[in-house]
Amino acid sequence: MNATTAVIDRKWHTVAEVAAMLGFGLSKTKMLVLTGEIRSVKVGRNRRILPAWVDEYVQAVTAAGPERRSA
Protein backbone atom coordinates (compact mmCIF):
# COMPACT_ATOMS: atom_id res chain seq x y z
CA MET A 1 0.00 0.00 0.00
CA ASN A 2 1.10 3.51 -0.72
CA ALA A 3 1.00 5.91 2.15
CA THR A 4 0.04 9.43 1.19
CA THR A 5 1.05 12.39 3.22
CA ALA A 6 -1.16 15.41 3.27
CA VAL A 7 0.68 18.68 3.09
CA ILE A 8 -1.20 21.47 4.77
CA ASP A 9 -0.20 25.03 4.07
CA ARG A 10 -0.44 27.20 7.13
CA LYS A 11 -2.88 30.02 6.62
CA TRP A 12 -1.78 32.25 9.51
CA HIS A 13 1.53 33.59 10.76
CA THR A 14 2.44 34.64 14.28
CA VAL A 15 3.85 38.09 14.99
CA ALA A 16 7.26 36.52 15.60
CA GLU A 17 7.16 34.75 12.22
CA VAL A 18 6.24 37.98 10.45
CA ALA A 19 9.08 39.79 12.23
CA ALA A 20 11.51 37.17 10.94
CA MET A 21 10.03 37.35 7.42
CA LEU A 22 10.42 41.13 7.29
CA GLY A 23 13.79 41.24 9.05
CA PHE A 24 12.34 43.41 11.83
CA GLY A 25 12.62 43.07 15.57
CA LEU A 26 9.70 41.66 17.52
CA SER A 27 8.99 44.99 19.24
CA LYS A 28 8.80 46.90 15.95
CA THR A 29 6.54 44.27 14.43
CA LYS A 30 4.25 44.30 17.47
CA MET A 31 3.99 48.08 17.17
CA LEU A 32 3.11 47.82 13.46
CA VAL A 33 0.38 45.33 14.37
CA LEU A 34 -0.97 47.43 17.25
CA THR A 35 -1.11 50.58 15.12
CA GLY A 36 -2.85 48.68 12.33
CA GLU A 37 -0.08 49.14 9.77
CA ILE A 38 0.00 45.36 9.55
CA ARG A 39 -3.49 43.89 9.74
CA SER A 40 -4.14 41.07 12.20
CA VAL A 41 -6.84 39.21 14.07
CA LYS A 42 -6.85 38.23 17.69
CA VAL A 43 -7.23 34.51 18.33
CA GLY A 44 -7.45 33.92 22.05
CA ARG A 45 -4.55 35.83 23.56
CA ASN A 46 -2.50 35.86 20.37
CA ARG A 47 -2.44 37.82 17.13
CA ARG A 48 -2.44 36.05 13.77
CA ILE A 49 -1.59 37.56 10.39
CA LEU A 50 -2.51 36.34 6.92
CA PRO A 51 0.31 36.18 4.36
CA ALA A 52 -1.70 38.54 2.13
CA TRP A 53 -1.68 41.15 4.91
CA VAL A 54 2.12 40.98 5.10
CA ASP A 55 2.19 41.50 1.32
CA GLU A 56 -0.16 44.51 1.69
CA TYR A 57 2.20 46.09 4.21
CA VAL A 58 5.24 45.52 1.98
CA GLN A 59 3.40 47.04 -1.00
CA ALA A 60 2.33 50.07 1.06
CA VAL A 61 5.86 50.69 2.33
CA THR A 62 7.31 50.26 -1.15
CA ALA A 63 4.77 52.67 -2.65
CA ALA A 64 5.46 55.26 0.07
CA GLY A 65 9.02 55.79 -1.16
CA PRO A 66 12.47 55.78 0.45
CA GLU A 67 11.68 58.31 3.18
CA ARG A 68 9.03 55.95 4.60
CA ARG A 69 11.30 52.91 4.53
CA SER A 70 14.03 54.60 6.54
CA ALA A 71 11.71 55.44 9.46
Count of C-beta atoms within a 10 Å radius of residue 47: 20
Q: What is the pLDDT of residues 4-58, one digit of tens each?
A: 776 667 799 999 999 999 999 999 999 999 999 999 999 999 999 999 999 999 9
Q: Residue 8's pLDDT is what?
A: 66
Q: What b/e string do you get for 29-43 counting C-beta neighbours within 10 Å, with b at 16 or more?
A: bbebbeeeebebeee
0.85 cut: is pTM over it? Answer: no
| pLDDT confidence bin for 69, thresholds 50/70/90 | low
